[in-house]
Every structure is written in structure tokens, then in C-alpha cells.
């Protein structure tokens, strides 16, 4: 049940929008194309099993781990929320 300016089901719409945004962010960060045989950062050999498992991979596991540690989370807030939810 929604109240104020929000329509019925507004909370579920916000959840769906947040999930869609997260999926879009994840898809945009995925590699595309052919996998590199050597890491583009440190020139270490990338094992064939990793190249097959992660198509388009460009980094070795160590460099990938470091990159993910440094990655900045864009936002945990749904910016498309209803006016009612923003006023609370």
C-alpha cells in the first residue's frame, strides 16, 4: 500500500529499478572480444582455463583483484525513487 504521491507498488518499482541499474553496471564492466594471453598490466601469463572461463579477460587474477579493490561503488541509492520516498 502506497500513500502520498506514490502509486501502489512503488516500492517494488524502486527495487526493480535498482536491480536493473546494478545489472546494467555489471554488464558494462564485462570484457568483450578476445582474451589476452598476457596481462595488460603486469605482462604475466594468463592461464588458458581463465581465458576460457572469462571471455575477453585482459588481466591476471592478481591485477584483477587489485583493480576490484580500488573500484569505486557508484551509488547505493535509487535516484529514480518516487517523490514520497524522498521526503521521508
pLDDT < 50 positions in the chain: 1-2
Q: Which residues contact 83 (CB under 8 A, 6 or more apart)?
A: 4, 5, 6
What pLDDT is attached to residue 49?
A: 94
Q: What is the DSSP string of 3-29?
A: -TTPPTTHHHHHHHHHHHHHHHHHHHT
What letter does residue 40 receive in the DSSP assignment?
Answer: T
What pLDDT is attached to residue 70?
A: 83
What pLDDT is attached to residue 3?
A: 55
Domain residue spans of the chain: 26-71
- Give the predicted TM-score (pTM) of the model: 0.52
Amino acid at each position: 500500500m502506497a500513500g502520498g504521491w506514490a502509486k501502489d507498488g512503488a516500492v517494488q518499482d524502486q527495487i526493480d529499478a535498482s536491480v536493473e541499474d546494478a545489472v546494467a553496471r555489471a554488464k558494462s564492466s564485462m570484457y568483450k572480444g578476445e582474451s589476452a594471453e598476457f596481462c595488460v598490466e603486469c605482462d604475466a601469463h594468463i592461464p588458458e582455463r581463465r581465458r576460457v572461463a572469462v571471455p575477453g579477460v585482459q588481466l591476471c587474477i592478481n591485477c584483477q583483484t587489485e583493480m576490484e579493490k580500488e573500484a569505486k561503488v557508484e551509488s547505493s541509492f535509487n535516484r529514480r525513487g518516487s517523490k514520497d520516498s524522498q521526503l521521508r
